[in-house]
Structures are given as structure tokens and as C-alpha cells.
Amino acid sequence: MFGHQSSFVMYDEELQRINAVIEKLLRESNGKVIFLVDKNGQLIAATGETEHLDTTSLASLTAGNIAATGGLAKLIGEKEFSILFHEGEKDNIHLSIVAGRVILVVIFDQRSSLGLVRLRVKKASDELGTIFQDLSKKTEERQKGGAGESPFAEITDDDIDNLFN
Amino acid sequence: MSFINYASREINCKIVYYGPGLCGKTTNLQYVYQKTAPEAKGKMISLATETERTLFFDFLPLALGEIRGFKTRFHLYTVPGQVFYDASRKLILKGVDGVVFVADSQEERLDANIESLENLKDNLEEQGYQLEKLPFVIQYNKRDLPNVSSVDELRNLLNADAVPEFEACATSGDGVFETLKAVAKLILIDLKKGGG
């Protein structure tokens, strides 16, 4: 799933499980917004006060941030920095890497605390790790069985051309 | 690496604009941004220095429309072109689905183009990709300037594999959308084959 030349696939069932975990995390951590981004900057899921947020930009910058910090880590001989924390005047951002693959982002204000967020994130990370493992297996099985064939397998040149008209 | 989301019926792909410093990568994205309907684009983000040189990347999300019930979204990125930002360039290439190489047609930039193309190949290989296997197009930019190399010369030096190539002037927009369409099309064809 995360290898080269293959797509990262998300299914309904796993997305529902992911949403359940991050909604619980939002409640338990007293956070404002939680979202999950893949390391390439694609938004996977978001919950909380997202209506005024540009989640696409946030996802891309989050991935850039993690990538840059990962580069720094390697330079000093670390594998990665698995947790990043940005402190603002009102809002703070807590970033953590889940299962080495996706980035869990928690935005919170004075109603919560760094300690609480860290504690809850740790638990949620384990649950998310299991889901992504399942997702990985499922994608592999479907690809082997042929059932997971790309939805684009049947598209025609006309379909592609029509996109640009 | 594309992201196929069956839950929201979306497909997301990443296109990276590569090329030597000041070749016009950011200008390409700015033109696309200006000429795209508001409902089809997100915010354009530029992480640039005070002198407007790209420091980390530019980012522009585009929604092209639907194919077979799937919304197709393309995330356009540029890399910083200046030689000493190589560590950042490598990071941007992670998860790339298609590459546009923007060449600066000016005679004095010939060496810079060759060096940047070699750097692209090296950085892709480091991530386990091969340029020959990726959707890839070349844009010969700045064709409006007086001191440009001929397209034949550029082709000989930069386009050995005869990938789709376009003459462009990114400041006026000539060739910008042709380039983008060509790489997007190659990515979709790749997905169709199941490679993406």
C-alpha cells in the first residue's frame, strides 16, 4: 500500500473506524480539531471545528513540516522525530507519526493541555496503527484477488479528454 | 503514489514541477491559479524567501472534475530550484505521481538545465523511482526571450526519451495548461494500467 508505484487506498469500513477513533480522541483530549494526513500530504480524515480551516493546505504543510523535520533527524543520526509540538498564543498544534506512515494532528487551546493531549494521542495511535495494518492487508488481498482493480481500469481516452474541456 | 479514497470517491495525485533556479516553476503555478475557476482550486501556498525565491515549495490543489464517479484532484508542487536547496527538493519528490521538468530556454542556462535534470534523476533514484517509468513531460520555457537556444538543441540535450514536450512562456501563460494537461493525462493513463 505504501510501496512505490502502488496507490494508497481507503475503504468505507476503515474510514468509519478511523473516524470513530479520532472523534473519541477529540472528546477525550478536549481538542479543537483533529486530522489525519498521509506522509505525502493527502488528507485522510478530519473532525472537530474544521469549517473555518483550509484543511487541504493544512495537510500539505503538515506533511512538509514532518518531512523537513525527518530530514533534520537523519542528519543527526535519528530515524525520525515522532512527535512535534508547536505552541501559539491561543492555539497549539501537536503532530505525531502513527505506525510510521500517517500523521496525526491535534489542534488544541487552553481548554486542554500538552500532557493530556500526549496521553490520549498515545492510546489513539495504537488503535489507528491496528486499523492501518488491517487496511494494508485488505488492499493487498484485494489486489491479489483482482477485486481491488483500479476504478480507472475501464476509463477511455475520451473520459480523460473530457476532464479538460 | 496516488491516493484512491473509496469512502469519499476521490482520487488524489501529486505533480511536481522541477527545474533550475528561476526557470519559471512558480510562475507556471501562479498562472494556473489565476486562470482556474474558484470552485476548482484551493489556496495557493508559497513558502518563499523575502526576495520571492522558493524556499521549500509552492502548493496548489486543483479539482479537475469526475471520471467514472470519482472526483479527480491534482496537487501541484514546485521544488526550490537553487542548487543548495537539494535536501528540500528530495523531500518534495516523495510520493510523486508525475513530473514536469521546466527548462529555461536561455542559452546561458543550458548547463543549469542539464545539471537540474541529472539532479532530478538522482533524487528520484534515491527514493526508488525511475524517471523513465514515471509520467514525465518537459516544458521549454521563456521562448519569448531573444537569447534562447533552439528547441532542437534543447531536445537533444534534455529529451533523449522523446517524452511530450511543450514550448512555453509562463509569464503570458502560453503552453502552461498544455503542459499540465499532458502530465495529468499521462498520470491517468498510468492509473488505468494499474501502475499508479
Question: If you average pLDDT over every residue of chain A, what do you get?
Answer: 90
Longest dimension (CA), chain A: 55
- Report pLDDT digits (tens) over A132-163: 999 999 988 887 776 555 677 777 778 877 88
8 Å CB contact of A61 and B4: no
* pLDDT confidence of residue A49: 95
Q: How many domains does chain B have?
A: 1
Residues 17-36 of A with CB under 8 A from B: none
Percent of chain B having pLDDT more than 70? 98
The beta-carbon neighbor of A41 closest among B4, B42, B75 is B75
Domain ranges of chain A: 12-137
* pLDDT confidence of residue A4: 43
The answer to whether A100 contacts chain B (CB < 8 Å) is: no
Greater confidence (A10 vs A145) lies with A10
- Report pLDDT digits (tens) over B156-187: 999 999 999 999 999 999 999 999 999 999 99
B45 pLDDT exceeds 70?
yes
* pLDDT confidence of residue B170: 97
E strand intervals along chain B: 3-5, 10-18, 45-48, 54-67, 70-78, 98-104, 136-141, 165-167
8 Å CB contact of B192 and A5: no
Length of chain B: 196
CATH code at position B69? 3.40.50.300
8 Å CB contact of B196 and A159: no
Strand partners, A83: A96
The answer to whether A2 contacts chain B (CB < 8 Å) is: yes
Rounded CA-CA distance A121/B8 in Å is 25
Average pLDDT, stretch B48-75? 92
* pLDDT confidence of residue A146: 65
* pLDDT confidence of residue A163: 80
Write out the residue range of the structural domain in which residue B36 sits.
3-193
* pLDDT confidence of residue A24: 98
The answer to whether A1 contacts chain B (CB < 8 Å) is: no
* pLDDT confidence of residue A1: 34
* pLDDT confidence of residue A150: 66
Percent of chain B having pLDDT more than 90? 87
The beta-carbon neighbor of B75 closest among A4, A11, A60 is A60
Place of cell 519559471: B24
CATH classification (class only), A12-137 = alpha beta
The whole model's pTM is what? 0.91
Residues 38-97 of B with CB under 8 A from A: 42-43, 45, 47, 56-57, 59, 61, 64-65, 67-70, 72, 75, 87-88, 90-92, 94-95
* pLDDT confidence of residue A149: 59
